[in-house]
Chains A and B, each alone.
Chain A
Amino acid sequence: MFPILTVMVALPALGAGVLWALPAAARTRAREVALAVTAIELVLAVVLFLQFDTAAAGSIQFSETYAWIPQIGASWALGVNGIGLLMIVLAAILVPLVILAGWRQDDAPGRQTHYLALILLGQAFMVGIFAARDVFLFYVLFEAMLIPLYFLIGSFGGAQRRYAAVKFLLYSLAGGLVMLVGVVALYFAGPGGEQAFLTDNLTGLELSTTTERLIFLAFFFAFAIKAPMVPVHTWLPTVAENARPGTTALLVAVLDKIGTFGMITLGVALFPDAARWAAPAIIVFAVISVIYGALLAIGQVNMLRLVAFTSVSHFGIMVLGIFAFTQTSIEGAALYMFNHGLSTGALFLVVGFLIERHGTADVTAYGGLQRVVPVFAGTFLVIGLSALALPGLSPFVSEIMVLVGAFGVAKVAVIVSAVGVVLAALYVLLTYQRVFTGPVREERASTPELSLRERAVLWPLVGLMLVLGFLPGIALDTLREPAADLVSIVSIEEAGE
């Protein structure tokens, strides 16, 4: 069979290599090369989606297994179920748009080449992580991913970008290294042998209660940092404020999903007992994230920080959905991972366009823009409304599924989280009001309207949100079975006790 997943990992990595190898004279064409590579990747992702058998969405498809380091039980094993598939599609959609969004970043060709190569390298890692079927491979990519991101944040962006990059790296590394202890422990708890780390061989292990709980916590710690949960979220606002909006869009929209993705595919699936044991505490933290993130978002004047805090709030809802362990809530959480990627990705990019025009992310520096740039304002409003989960736009579907699904299990948590949803209306609409309504400020009167290129970046995302808002079935079909499998893993274990 054609190893499509390996190709999808190798293609952007090769693209990055080609970019770095470009002679200085050809570097002015770096954007075109990068865009072409990501376009091919998008085509591959579409093929992947169409070839995917939704009737068997719960089982791993496009499976590939090669021996990698048999001495320590590691394999190069890729394959996706419905959740992994959607995440890879999301990455494939966003990366070319991010490149397109940064088309006019006024950089020297050399720097621009470097930036694009890092983005492509990041995409290679993302696809690998979402497709990894081997815990060791997952871990290696999870950690190696930090290097391109570190340079993306630290080399390109605002005044405090170095501080942000180091903060990001240390947070992630701390999480990753704790996870490493869990990975090593898992090796000794598992069956051993040359394929000791294959997730297939690690599912349904009979572990002692303490071992399982400790390993689960080691994994969860890393994932909670990635999908920033209070109290280990503080790196995200710093990074969002200082990195390029494009970088942050990728980071929050796709990369941070590795956290929730890992919670589902490694955390809950491999350690169901421990997951159920920890669920009440995790739900408490999730709810705190929802409320705290929303409250802090209201208090921000920097739009990038604001969006970052809204994400903290939204990640709380996803985590709530995962650890409520009902069919609807897990399905909703997985769908939310995709929808949040579209919505927040678009939000960061549109804020980025605003900053490109006036060089500041401070809401108080704006006002009355809707009379000057009505299309811009309208697009911003729609994207903003998606973040507050307005019915008709796709995030609404997923959010309501999580809340409804979790209601039977954790009433209080859902009721409190619903307050967070109301707060979302506040931070989105307040921002819109401050930036776009009111009297036109003189120095902003000549703001250019959304260009064709910028529309080409934002409107496909808006379109997707609309389509999925009315026809969520397209995505839900691929999520139903994985969610059902997860629920059955958790509840079988429960019945066995």
Chain B
Amino acid sequence: MTLLLAGCDGPLSTLAPAGPAAGDIALLWWGMLIGSAAITLLVGVLLALSFGPPRVRPVRYWTHGWGLGFSLAVLTTVLVAGLWIGERILPRDDGAVEVRAHAYQWGWRFAQPNAEGETVQTDGVLYIPAGRPVDVIVTAEDVIHAFWVPQLAGKVDAIPGRRNLLRIEADRPGTHDGLCAEFCGLGHATMRFELVAYGVDAPPDALADAPAAEEYADD
């Protein structure tokens, strides 16, 4: 078991969550995995049984019972679980910290508040306070990119002309890897960034030294 979980570790692993959204989704995954394994096994057993002597079942046993009834029951369960978790991880109007992630070929420029509440700009590293919900405004300079910190939450695309919103939160202070998930040309593989979650009482020095954030054309 430990070995199994160790295999799930890694700086970009969705299965090693470090925030509430990623945690919920990981839980959803494990549930769906167990259900899927059971269904695959079940189909295998049904197939194996077909190799015995012919067995007559009414047509509706298969098409309505298994085909409609069984599948609808399973699918409804999964869908409800998905909607419930989806609702939990949405950005909401609760005074969350707002930061900005601006993607370009090929890198990331971030804007975030420092200890004094001024918005400062950093390149390649995003600083957020740990233990507090953060809304990331995701924008793009040139082509479509996607903002993704797998240990904290799902991804959202950075699309020219649009401002997308993603809710993230880190449980504890620490460093997490992030990357561009949407193919964006030659530098796609190396378009990484770092997310530093800091304790609210210990804002990093880098943030104090950072220059004020510049305005964007679409602000």
- Asked whether A and B interact, the reply is no
